[in-house]
Amino acid sequence: MDRLYRYRSKNVHDLKVEGMVVRLWSVAGLDDRREIERAFEPLARSGFVHPYAALMPDWHPGEDAVIGSVVPTRGTLLPTVIGGDIGCGMIAVRLPVLFADLRPGLERIGDALRQVIPVGTAHNASVSGRVEQNPIWERTLRAPVSSRSMRKLMRQFGSLGGGNHFLEIQRDGQERLWVMLHSGSRYLGVEVRDYYVSAGQGREGVDGKLYRRLPHLPLESAIGQDYLADVQSVMEFARGSRREMMLRAIEAVAREAPGLDAEGLLGDAIEISHNHVRVEEHFGERLCVHRKGAVRLAEGQSGLVPGSMGTCSYVVEGRGNPHGFFSCAHGGGRAMSRSAALRSVSSKAFKKSMSDVVCRHDGQLLDEAPEAYKDIRQVMRGQADLVRIVHELVPVLSIKGR
């Protein structure tokens, strides 16, 4: 451990993977050493990572990348490290409403939310004037996107998507209600990633053999700059879509709590992205910092760390820890794969774990059951030197992207 590390060091562990250092934040220590080594082997062999990779306590292996990782490089962009859901993130708003006042109407609020926010593969049946007038459509992507695709995107704008994406009503320690949602860039991020992975092959400055294992783009190349610009545009699309859904959600809640000013409340929203690449300065160097399932938080900046659909979520503030590249966990992190959860979690146990939450209890959601995720409180203990807790939020209504 670096002797200059001035924070709590007992939950911080360094592991070498073929010469590359992975710095892990976890109360469990290096119990997952072998799994970490397997997950980081392609990155370690590439030689791109500098000075080391940071691994958040919610980490788990993904299909193409390590979820919960922060991967800095010198002048190299790695499109598959952040994957296709570019700009995936969170938004939360605190309402001037007490839980007791809305408790009788939660079922009606849930019905209203499902009417105005499409989930899963569904999209909006029509495009509203508010969506048409959103300034996001003034941005121009450098990757080719057809007019047909753009029309599809307009219908997807303001829709939740699938997987672990969610919309929740939560209450804090003062019994005030919050609306929190998690969503991404729908298929736009996938299209942008796939274009640049394909277009980068055979380019000057690219190692062809290595590229097949780990696609990479030189930051200072034309294609690298185009990719970086398009990542920013996709992030803005994802953020705008979340803001549109938040407006609809507050308007739906207002049916039970008249007088809520959706636009005004949106102005105080907490917003974060946990899937992106940015050029940042760390330890006196200009680095390309890839965050896959990790949140950038400057010292004192507000952020969000959600639990599973039956457990607490957290409003946090960054501690400004440079050793974590000013990052923190993005959630509870999966404890088991979706297929394993479907095999091992019983419908009875799932229903019992969700007894205090208005939500669906059917078997299609077993892979999102609390048992399928890590203990969120243990995750928070593991990152105590990265963030401080401001609010603990308890779910009272949960809608999953299914």
Give catalytic residue positions.
Answer: 330
Q: Tell me whether residue 259 is exposed, middle or buried, using C-beta atoms within 10 angstroms of its C-beta: 0 to 12, 13 to 18, 19 or more.
A: exposed
Backbone angles phi, psi at 128, to 5 degrees: -75, 160
3-class secondary structure, 318: strand
3-class secondary structure, 22: strand
Q: Which of 360, 371, 310 lies closest to 337, judged by CA?
A: 371
Residues 6+ apart with CB under 8 A from 123: 152, 155, 156, 159
DSSP state of 337: -
Length of the chain: 402
Q: Which of 279, 328, 273, 275 lies closest to 299, judged by CA?
A: 328
Plot region of 55 (φ>0 → left; ψ -120 to 50 → alpha; else → beta): beta
